[in-house]
Amino acid sequence: MKEKTLFEEDLKKLQKIVEELSSGKITLGESLKKYEEGVKLAQSCSATLEEAQRKVEQLMKKDGKVSLEKFDDIEIEEK
Amino acid sequence: MQKLSKLENNGLPSSRQSQKLENNGLPSSRQSQKHIYTVSEITQVIKVLLEEKVGEIWLEGEISNFKAATSGHFYFSLKDHGALILGAMFAHANKNLKFKLEDGQKVICFGKVDVYGPRGQYQIIVERIEPKGVGAQQLAFEQLKKKLDQEGLFDARHKKPLPQMPFTVGIVTSSKGAAVRDILQILKKGASGVDVILRSVRVQGEQAAAEIAQAITDLNNLKPLDLIIVSRGGGSTEDLWSFNEEIVARAIYNSRLPIISAVGHQINTTLSDLVADVFVETPSAAAKIIVDKKNALLARLAGFKYEMNFSINNTISDLKNRLTAFTHMLKSPRDHLFEKQQQIDELFSGLNYNMRHALELAAQRSSALIQRLEALSPLAILSRGYSLSVLVSQGAILKDVGMIKPGDRLKTILYKGAFTSAVLEVFNDERKNLI
């Protein structure tokens, strides 16, 4: 979950790096550093999107108290 | 309708009866008994006559002068082209009214005629009322839609943007319905990283609207959600009615999280659709929005990678080009020497050229002179028949006869050859005679 909340932030950072690199206004040393950082960000963002694990939960409410329970969607798929 | 005409038939004779009664009453008071009614008494008589003889009826008319009092009672008039009757609908009767009464509305109502003594008015106390023409439900829908529209619930400026990528999605629908199955299947196939929190509710029937609204509120209070899908599979207009309820529309409007409404199939547009930030025609389409977002982001990330590679390659090749340019600009002492040598070479070749040119000019001039000189040569004159004589003793060319005397030896040169001779006689100034 932490990874996911950072996603939009990472995406913003990445976009800024892409812009900086294409402006050609930074030194070669900076460019290489930014490039490395950008490639890492792009990879981690892609990985977050491609992540295959997921949870399907059901919000239950009893006497005003809420709880999350695993929702079995296997049964649904078979129908 | 049968009932209506029957009632009217019942009503008419009774009103005639009442007139008859009045006729009976008035003369009797004037004549024998001298019974004088008080206002209250006669009103009471009228009240009894009207309320008992006319009683409960069905009435058709157009509403005008509608007023909703703070007490909750409704007051209005019902009219047609020829008459008008006052009407009242008390709070207990109108509280379950599905639509809003408005001036100009054609209605059919059920109620009883009543006399309101303090004002000397008769009126109909309406218990039930139905709009004429359209169904009550449809009218209620149109009215609620208009009301919510006027309040701005459908305004584009209230629409919240969906997050770039919803990683955790809340779903409000029935856990047993087709909608949740469709959504989960599409997410599993296309966006398998997305977490789902389902809040199962009834999606039709009396309780459904309240449950849907509550579920939206509950999911809003769960922190990590990115958006909510409010959904139900296809069904009849009645089946989908809960999604037209005001309580649902308001819950959607008040939601902090963006909401996708995906109710029914294609043609059904519910109020929840109109209030939601995004609305799609089917539950599957709602899930596809999320899948599309994921794919769009992946494509964007690929674009970023390409752009970064392009930029860095550009930066490097640009630097290389500048380096080459700088190298050219830097000169070694040897390069200076070469440069001077080259200058010298250039000057030298210039010099050569100039010299050659000067010599050629001189040669041309000298040959011209030689030609002129040749023209003046004595030999050329001799060739024309002239001769040249030399006084041998002195070696001088003869130009004047005074230089010689007879007996002198002369050598004469002709164009071809020469000879010597001796002077025989000298003539002074005999040039004319000579030739």
Where does B157-262 have alpha helices with state H? 178-190, 208-220, 246-253
Positive/negative CA dihedral, B280, B285, B290, B293:
negative
Number of domains, chain B: 3
Q: Does B306 touch chain A (CB under 8 A)?
A: no
Cβ neighbours, 10 Å, residue B177: 20
Instruction: Return the pLDDT at B432.
Output: 57
Is residue B423 situated within a structural domain? yes
CA distances B298 to B165, B200, B257, B287, Å, are 11, 32, 24, 17
Instruction: Return the pLDDT at A56.
Output: 87
Residue B168 shares a structural domain with residue B281: yes
Q: Given A18, A46, A49, which is nearest B308 (Cβ)? A: A18
Q: Does B184 touch chain A (CB under 8 A)?
A: yes
Are B304 and A1 inside 8 Å of each other by CB?
A: no
Is residue B365 situated within a structural domain? no
What per-residue string of b and e applies to A45-54 under the rule 16 or more CB within 10 Å gives b? Answer: bbebbeeeeb
Q: Given B184, B308, B319, which is nearest A39 (Cβ)? A: B308
Residue B246 shares a structural domain with residue B184: yes
Which residue, B247, B272, B292, sits at the end of a domain? Answer: B292
Residue B149 shares a structural domain with residue B124: no
Tokens, residue B256: 């902090």
Is residue B300 situated within a structural domain? no
Q: What is the pLDDT along chain B (435 residues), one digit of tens a residue?
A: 444 444 444 444 444 444 444 444 455 445 566 888 899 999 999 999 888 888 889 999 999 999 999 999 999 999 988 899 999 999 999 888 878 888 888 899 999 999 988 888 899 999 999 888 766 677 778 888 889 999 999 998 989 999 989 999 999 999 988 899 999 999 988 888 899 999 999 998 889 999 999 999 999 988 789 999 999 988 877 788 899 899 999 999 999 999 999 998 766 678 889 899 999 989 999 999 999 999 999 999 999 999 999 988 888 888 888 888 888 777 777 777 888 888 888 888 888 888 889 889 988 888 888 888 777 777 777 888 888 889 888 888 888 888 888 989 999 988 888 999 999 888 876 665 554
Boundaries of domain holding B271:
143-292
Instruction: Return the pLDDT at B19.
Output: 46
Are B305 and A39 inside 8 Å of each other by CB?
A: yes
Which residue, B292, B317, B337, sits at the end of a domain? Answer: B292
Positive/negative CA dihedral, B40, B41, B44, B50:
negative
Q: Does B189 touch chain A (CB under 8 A)?
A: no
- Which chain A residue is nearest to residue B220, measuring alpha carbons? A59
Is residue B305 situated within a structural domain? no
Residue B15 shares a structural domain with residue B84: yes
Is residue B282 situated within a structural domain? yes
Calpha distance B203→A57 (Å, rounded): 19
Residue B189 shares a structural domain with residue B238: yes
Cβ neighbours, 10 Å, residue A68: 13
Comparing CA positions, the residue from B188, B178, B190, B193 lying closest to residue B231 is B178
Residue B108 shares a structural domain with residue B160: no
**Bridge partners (DSSP) listed for residue B227:** B169
Where does B221-282 have alpha helices with state H? 246-253, 271-275
Domain ranges for chain A:
2-78
Residue B198 shares a structural domain with residue B126: no
What per-residue string of b and e applies to B45-71 under the rule 16 or more CB within 10 Å gives b? Answer: bbbebbbebbeebbbebbbeebeeeee
Chain A, 19 to 58: residues with Cβ < 8 Å from chain B are 21-22, 24, 28, 31-32, 35, 38-39, 42, 45-46, 48-58
Residue B181 shares a structural domain with residue B252: yes
pTM over 0.80: no
Instruction: Return the pLDDT at B185.
Output: 92
Residue B161 shares a structural domain with residue B284: yes
Cβ contacts below 8 Å, chain A against chain B, sum to: 118
Residue B177 shares a structural domain with residue B229: yes
ipTM: 0.84
Residues near B145 by beta carbon (within 8 Å), at least 6 away in sequence: B271, B274
Left, alpha or beta for B429 (phi > 0: left; psi -120 to 50: alpha)?
Answer: left
Residue B86 shares a structural domain with residue B18: yes
A68: which chain B residues are within 8 Å (Cβ-Cβ)? 197
Is residue B405 situated within a structural domain? yes
B199: which chain A residues are within 8 Å (Cβ-Cβ)? 58-59
Angstroms from A16 CA to nearest CA on chain B: 10
Q: Given B170, B194, B312, which is nearest A21 (Cβ)? A: B312
Are A32 and B304 inside 8 Å of each other by CB?
A: no
Question: Could you tell me the CATH number of the domain that includes residue B116?
Answer: 2.40.50.140
Residues near A50 by beta carbon (within 8 Å), at least 6 away in sequence: B193, B298
Calpha distance A6→B165 (Å, rounded): 11
On whether the CB atoms of residues B137 and B241 are closer than 8 A, the answer is yes
Comparing CA positions, the residue from A69, A11, A64, A17 lying closest to residue B307 is A17
Cβ neighbours, 10 Å, residue B73: 15
Is residue B350 situated within a structural domain? no
Is residue B339 situated within a structural domain? no
Instruction: Return the pLDDT at B15.
Output: 44
Question: Could you tell me the CATH number of the domain that includes residue B175?
Answer: 3.40.50.280
Residue B94 shares a structural domain with residue B158: no
Are B301 and A71 inside 8 Å of each other by CB?
A: no
Which of B121 and A66 is assigned the larger pLDDT? B121
